[in-house]
Structure 1
Amino acid sequence: MEVVNFKAEKLYKDKQNHYLARSNRQTIEKCMKQSLTERLWKI
């Protein structure tokens, strides 16, 4: 029973990490696009 719980918890954490990484990447991409457009506007 302990092992099953551990596996389920690990799977859940992996899913959470994947989701966090994906949203972080989206945020970073958004910031990069923003800074790029800002640079273009300054020129």
Structure 2
Amino acid sequence: MRYVSAASGMLDGIYNVLHTAIKTIYPQYYPKEVVCFFANTIAKNIF
């Protein structure tokens, strides 16, 4: 495994990975309200 420091040009990719994980994996473990909370908490402006 290789670690790479994130750059501002990677923002869209990171955002997409996070939201894909939240939408596909979280519903298996959390109620819908929690999934929505996490999805709404992760916003592009926090990066």
TM-score, with length taken from structure 2:
0.37
Higher helix share: 1
Larger Rg: 1
TM-score, with length taken from structure 1:
0.40
